[in-house]
Amino acid sequence: MDNKDNKRGFSGLSDLTSDTGTLPQSQPHQTSPLPSAPQKPVFALLELTKWPTLPAPWSSVDAGETWVWGDFFLTFQKKPKTVLDLTMEMQGKKAEYRGMTYHYAMSVFYRIDRNPHGPSHRPIMTIALEQADMGMLAKMLGGEAGGLLQAEGGSKMGPLMIGLFTGETRLNLGDYEGDTSSQAVKRRFFEILARQLGVSGQPKMIGDLAQAHGHPETGLPAKKKNSGCAPVILLCIGIGGLGAWGLTFI
């Protein structure tokens, strides 16, 4: 290689190292803000006076079950009475509403120490396996609509359905065609509630309904002797039959 080539070679190298205009300029390091934790949804409390045909919390023909899951505890109930039935009974009246049968229900409550509404005992959701008595509904409707329903359904029971009550609305989640054993129904309830509540992992059973009281994972106070299973006092006032009535949780 002659001197001319050497000069050209070093010149080319010199051009590469001295041409700072083509080199990327170093930028000061900027720290990205840490992502904020996602806000948990706040579920409204159920207004029991708004849904008189709601499966009554804590009502069950057997001992029932209590489960804990995330920020919530849940009660599994067999053939619960409705809020209206319970109100009528506490007024010394015969419960006459039989338009809907609830085979199973699950009521969802905030754990007391995680309740954004304060130390309330009211549920936030109730899911139920329900079945309408078409004959009873026809009598209640009366007129042409009732006659049409009577002609179509007679005294037959309607299909099994899954219904969901929330603080804002009541949802019909469609027909239920699965196994009607308590285990199968409970599994289906958990599948639906996992999506509704945004919980993960597995629920944990802590005992029957009575064992929810005084348990550290529910936060409910221990019940007094001979006070019954319910952790709430229902105050029911009837004025002019069912024209006006009240039901409140303490």
Cβ atoms 247, 235 nearer than 8 A: yes
Residue at token pair 């359905």: 161
The CB density around residue 5, as the number of other CB atoms within 10 Å, is 9
SS3 of residue 122 by DSSP: coil
Domain ranges in the chain are: 48-248
Are 199 and 95 within 8 A, CB to CB?
no
Q: Rounded to the nearest 5°, which phi and psi values hold at 60?
A: -160, 145
pLDDT per residue of the chain (250 residues) written in tens, 0 to 9: 555 544 444 344 344 334 444 444 555 555 565 666 568 899 999 998 888 889 999 999 999 999 999 999 999 999 999 998 988 888 888 876 678 899 999 999 999 999 999 989 999 999 999 999 877 666 655 555 545 555 555 558 899 999 999 999 999 999 999 999 999 999 999 999 999 999 999 999 999 999 999 999 999 999 877 655 443 434 332 323 333 334 444 3
Separation CA 5–CA 18 (nearest Å): 20
Report the predicted TM-score, pTM, of the whole model to 2 decimal places.
0.73
